[in-house]
Amino acid sequence: MRGVAVFVLRLAKRLLTPRNRSWGEAAQREAEEIEHPGEALRFAFGCLMWAIREAAADRISHLFQQGDDPMSFADAIRGPRGVALLCATGAVALGLVYMVMGNAPARYLMMNIGAFAFGLIALAILTLADGRGHLPGRLLAVGLGAVLLATSLLGVRVDGITRWLALGPLTIQPSMMILPLMVVLFARFRDGLSLIGIAVAALALALQPDRGMAGALTAGIAVLAFTRPNRSVLAALACAAAGFAATLVQPDPSPALPFVDQILYSSFSLHPLAGVAVVLGSALLTVPVLAGRQAKAPELAVFGAVWAALIAAAALGNYPTPLVGYGGSAVIGYLISLMVFPRRSALAAASTEAQPQAGASSDGDRALYVGAARAQV
Amino acid sequence: MGRHGYELCREADIKSGTLYPLLMRLEGQGYLAADWQAAETPGRPPRHVYRLTAEGRRLAAENLVPDTARAALPEGRPA
């Protein structure tokens, strides 16, 4: 039993941040001195709970940190990424309203809600990895391009179109999920390696074929070519345009699916409020670009162009209406592409830096003072 | 004269998972000093010993538990 206690305390020590590890060491030494093994084990599990709380708090605080400069949750919400998350939430919620009004199957609603939760987790992981410099963005772009190509060659074929992958009971559209992220990553790096990813993606979309996604890729790269032209960007634009042209000359016989395609029009015939929900939800998708305009980052303009093009495609043809229509791939794709949004505007950063540090005392500390008095160390 | 962690747990009747964050914050705010102390028994590893600083003693004096609260504590438990 004592061995278990020591093991638990070692685990607790490992969970603690390096600056607090000496406290874990102290707790371990303390447990080793406890005479009764049962007491030692109880002591060890108490310490483990403490270490888990500390580790969780540390991980969460990292999500709201940029370098060594801490920020509050309020700053995060005020920042461009916070605005974008609110817009995504609003769009998904309005889509749910539309689907409820249209008596959509409950699993449609659950799919979008589940995708939203999954997308948030994926975004958190990506931003954490990106913030710590552990995200190989260029290689990721190439890898995602390969996934798109594999989908085109090996995916589920319906009516002569190969856009989907079957993952058990789920059928996903990988292009909707990963192409927006690929384009914003290319906007960040604009180099030869990420160009390979874009070229492979353009080929994959031409093979599927998918005019909507190929058009969105071209729109995003075209905006980049206007704002940050270089040799890689112009080459990417040529690839994207060629891929888009290839989709235009091929037939695209996919029929409109209820709650997925053509809902920008059909929702109004359902009920005027359902139509307003769909249009408003779609409009929300491009609002984050306005919130992030202070950052002057090309990725944000590219983000806006890609999603505006996808909405336009949904209005013009039988292509999914992102976030407001049924489909988890777009929800996840939108959320993970928010990775490139800064967590706060330059203005918010300046105001945060100007604020003095909070005092050591607070109402919450009162409990500690009383604890100290009781212990009378 | 300081106290060890387990001793404090027993005296204040709190769990180790509550004690250590409390100690960390008090130490961070300058109310508590935590030092490694060599063991009295040869061959044993050193242990953390905790002492209130002068500031900590003043704080403790300002927050003494009233007698009524003491009476409400379980019998035999030092407050």
Query: Sign of the C-alpha dihedral, residues A347, A350, A355, A357?
Result: positive
A32·B9 Cβ contact <8 A? no
Domain limits for position B22: 5-72
Q: Which of B20, B31, B64 sits opposite A47 (nearest CB)?
A: B20
Q: Does B58 touch chain A (CB under 8 A)?
A: no
Amino acid A195: pLDDT: 94
The number of angstroms, rounded, from the C-alpha of A145 to the middle of its chain's C-alpha atoms is: 18
pTM of structure: 0.63
B73 touching chain A per CB within 8 A: no
Q: In whole angstroms, what is the distance from residue A60 CA to residue A207 CA? A: 42
Pairing outcome for strands B47-52 and A161-167: unpaired
**What DSSP element (H or E) covers B52?**
strand B47-52
pLDDT(A376) > 60: no
CA distance to partner chain A, nearest, from residue B41 (Å)? 11
Question: Nearest-CA distance from B61 to chain A in Å?
Answer: 7
B47/A33 Cβ within 8 A: yes
**Most trustworthy range by pLDDT among A95-109, A356-370, B29-43:** A95-109
Residue-wise pLDDT for A48-92, tens only, equals 888 888 887 777 676 655 554 555 555 555 678 888 999 999 999
CA separation for the pair A230, A253 (Å, rounded): 37
Residue B67 lies in a domain: yes
The number of distinct structural domains making up chain B is 1
- Gap between the Cα atoms of A186 and A197, Å rounded: 8
CATH, residue B23: 1.10.10.10
Q: Can you tell me whether residue A329 is helix, strand or coil?
A: helix
Instruction: Give the per-residue pLDDT at A20.
Output: 85
Mutate to test the interface with A, among B16, B18, B57 (most CBs of A within 10 A): B16
Q: What is the pLDDT of residues A185-211, one digit of tens each?
A: 999 999 999 999 999 999 999 999 999
Q: What number is the average pLDDT over the span B60-70?
A: 70
- So what's the pLDDT on residue A366? 46
pLDDT tens, residue by residue, A321-365 = 999 999 999 999 999 999 988 876 444 444 444 444 433 344 334
Mean pLDDT value across residues A246-255: 89
Centre a 10 Å sphere on the Cβ of residue A238 and count the other Cβ atoms it contains: 14
Using CA atoms, how far apart are residues A278 and B3, in angstroms rounded to an integer? Answer: 65
pLDDT, residue A173, reads 94
Judge if ipTM > 0.85: no
| Domain membership flag for residue B77 | no
Q: Is pLDDT of B68 > 70?
A: no
Task: Say if B78 falls within a structural domain.
Answer: no
In B3-32, the residues whose Cβ lies within 8 Å of chain A are 3-6, 8-9, 11-12, 14-26, 28-29, 31-32
The percentage of residues in chain A with a pLDDT greater than 70, rounded to a whole number, is 85
* Residue A53 at interface with chain B, using a CB cutoff of 8 Å: yes
A377 pLDDT more than 80: no
- Asked if residue A164 lies in contact with residue A172, where contact means CB atoms within 8 angstroms, the answer is yes
